Amino acid sequence: MIEEIKKDFPLLENRDIAYLDSGATTQKPKEVIEAIKKYYENSNANPHRGAYSLSIEATEQYENTRTKIAEFINAKHREEIIFSKNATESLNLIAYSYGMDNLKKDDEVVISIMEHHSNLVPWQKVTKATGSKLNYMYINENYEISDEEIESKITDKTKIVGITHVSNVLGTINNVKKIIKYAHKKGAIVIVDASQSIPHMKIDVQELDADFLVFSGHKMLAPLGIGVLYGKREILNNMTPFLMGGDMIEYVYEQETTFAPLPNKFEAGTQNVEGVIGLGAAIDYIQKIGYDKIQEKENEIISYARQELSKLKYLTLYLTPNAQNHSSVISFNIKGVHPHDVASILDSENVCVRSGNHCAQPLMRFLGIDSTCRASFYFYNSKEDVDRLVFALNKAYKMFEKFIKTN
């Protein structure tokens, strides 16, 4: 099956690599590439701007994708889907359009220590500006957030909770449904960063009861530069726009402006139509394979990777021992060797992993390290990719072994 899947991905067919950096961006299937090509060759025009048939056709394709995404995540209303550049922009929009207007002195925002900088830095700025306080939920020895931690940090003072569904460093799957239920009990709204979860598992925003949920298209087979913000309609309706100009305008007078209704009021300027078209094609491809098949394949690969990497005694692995709470990311270090050096040697064996702090410096400090190597897997990976990773790691260790022992 895996060889058939790889045939759908031109880069994986054209390059002899073990691509283990899907947490940074996924490779793109032919269907996505062809959808974008077809759009430019047959339907390219500025949507919402023209009364001529070509512009109307572009508008229909753009808006049909919005409907497709609403159905994909089971949003109640299609206008709850807002297009953005990426999850980072979506999170900033929430922080500034909702946070600035709704937080006051001595209110509290709670996020986890696992958060990507994009769900952390905006809250630093907003809490300082509003006189509110930023608190953190910390992880235990299993790299998980305990129920006790959730219940001790989310209090009656908490107005906003931000939580990553899956850690981009640890691969820990957080129990966002439990966090949402408890936060709502305390009167707080919850923002879920689904960037590392939605490529791998079915998301139902109504079942979760998430107030906001964000993700990036490029981590789920779509092009770079397209993201999604989901928000409950009643909340979005009461928020002020983040960016001004273009189609988010209703009427403009010399001293006053009124804004368009949802979803347009949050989509300023000309949108990334090719990205939207590509995201729609990516969703079609994911649904064609099915999340059940994706999870079955990924569970097999991740289980094998955990097994094989745990045999390498020179590695430090940063992952939960509870496999059922672990998704597609494995971070590791060769003791005594800088992750960048390890990644460079792996690259010489055509094994692609990421090295660095993964936009999670507070988490790194909490773990007592500066950076890690990170292998992130997707359904197009195979056991052979894991074997190539292990072979390259052994090569790296042998190169540095005498220096490690000396030091």
Percentage of the residues of the chain whose pLDDT score is greater than 70: 99
Question: What residues contact residue 353 under an 8 Å CB cut-off, 6+ apart?
Answer: 20, 21, 343, 346, 373, 374, 375, 389
Among 45, 359, 369, 399, the one annotated catalytic: 359
Residue 2 has a pLDDT of: 73
Quick one: pLDDT at residue 105?
97
| Residue 70 CA to its chain's centroid (Å) | 17
Quickly count: other Cβ atoms within 10 Å of residue 370's Cβ.
13
CB atoms within 10 A of CB 92: 22
Question: What average pLDDT score do residues 237-263 get?
Answer: 94
Evaluated on CA atoms 331, 92, 112, 381, the torsion sign reads negative
Q: Please provide the distance, in angstroms rounded to a whole number, between the alpha carbons at the two ends of the chain.
A: 46
The pLDDT of 295-324, averaged and rounded, is: 98
In the sheet with 158-164, reading across from the earlier edge strand, the strands are 81-84, 227-231, 212-216, 189-193, 158-164, 108-112, 133-137
Task: Look at residue 49 in the predicted model and tell me its pLDDT.
Answer: 84
Cα–Cα distance, 348 to 391 (Å, whole number) = 12
* Claim to verify: residue 124 and residue 109 sit in the same structural domain: yes
Asked if residue 34 is part of any domain, the answer here is no
33, part of any domain: no
Please check the confidence at residue 313 and state whether its pLDDT lies above 80: yes
Are 315 and 276 found together in one domain?
A: no
For the purposes of burial, counting CB atoms within 10 Å of the CB of 27, is it exposed (0-12), middle (13-18) or buried (19 or more)?
buried
In this predicted structure, the answer to whether residue 405 has a pLDDT above a threshold of 90 is no
Q: Is the pLDDT of residue 86 over 50?
A: yes
Is the Cα dihedral 124, 126, 131, 133 positive or negative? Answer: negative
CATH number for the domain harbouring residue 282: 3.40.640.10
Q: 87 and 223 share a domain?
A: yes
Residue 7 pLDDT > 70, yes or no?
yes
In a domain, 29, yes or no: no
Which residue range forms the structural domain that includes residue 329? 2-22+290-406
Confidence of residue 25 (pLDDT cuts 50, 70, 90): very high
Is residue 64 one of the residues assigned to a domain? yes
Q: Rounded to whole angstroms, how far apart are CA atoms 37 and 250?
A: 33
Q: Is 27 or 407 the better-scoring residue by pLDDT? A: 27
Q: With contact defined as beta carbons under 8 Å apart, do 358 and 196 qualify?
A: no
Give the pLDDT of residue 204.
Answer: 98
Averaged pLDDT, 54-70: 97
Same structural domain, 188 and 246 = yes
Residue where a domain terminates, one of 248, 265, 287: 287
- pLDDT tens by residue, 139-179: 999 999 999 999 999 999 999 999 999 999 999 999 999 99
pLDDT at 315: 97
Distances (CA, A) of 308 to 51, 311, 315: 60, 5, 11
Residue 406's pLDDT band (boundaries 50, 70, 90)? very low
Query: Are both 16 and 154 inside the same structural domain?
Result: no
271, 287, 303 - which closes a domain: 287
Q: Among 47-51, 126-130, 152-156, 282-286, whose mean pLDDT is lowest?
A: 47-51
The string of DSSP codes covering 198-215 is TTTS---HHHHT-SEEEE
**Are 51 and 192 contacting, i.e. CB atoms less than 8 angstroms apart?**
no
Displacement of CA 327 from its chain's centroid (Å): 13
What is the signed CA dihedral for 97, 101, 103, 104, rounded to 10 degrees? 150
Statement to judge: residues 49 and 10 lie in one domain: no
Is residue 98 located within the same domain as residue 216?
Answer: yes
78/53 same-domain check: yes
Looking at residue 167, what DSSP letter applies? -
Counted domains in the chain: 2
Kind of pairing between the strands at 372-376 and 329-334? antiparallel
Does one domain contain both 93 and 199?
yes
User: Do the domain assignments include residue 248?
Assistant: yes
Is 373 a residue of the active site?
no
Band of residue 407 on the pLDDT scale cut at 50, 70, 90: very low
DSSP calls for 278-330? HHHHHHHHHHHH-HHHHHHHHHHHHHHHHHHHHT-TTEEEES-S-GGGB-SEE
Q: Please state which of the ranges 73-82, 241-250, 324-333 shows the lowest mean pLDDT.
A: 241-250
Q: For residue 247, is pLDDT > 80?
A: yes
Cβ neighbors of 41 (< 8 A, separation 6 or more) are: none
Same domain, 64 and 88: yes
Of the candidates 226, 252, 287, which is a domain's last residue? 287
Peptide bond into 263 cis (omega under 30): yes
Domain co-membership, 268 together with 402: no
CATH number of the domain to which 367 belongs: 3.90.1150.10
Question: For 101, what's the count of Cα atoms within 13 Å in the CB-facing half-sphere?
Answer: 12
Q: Give the helix ranges, DSSP H, for 43-83.
A: 53-72
| Residue 201 lies inside a defined structural domain of this protein | yes
Same domain, 309 and 280: no
- Does residue 384 have a pLDDT over 50? yes
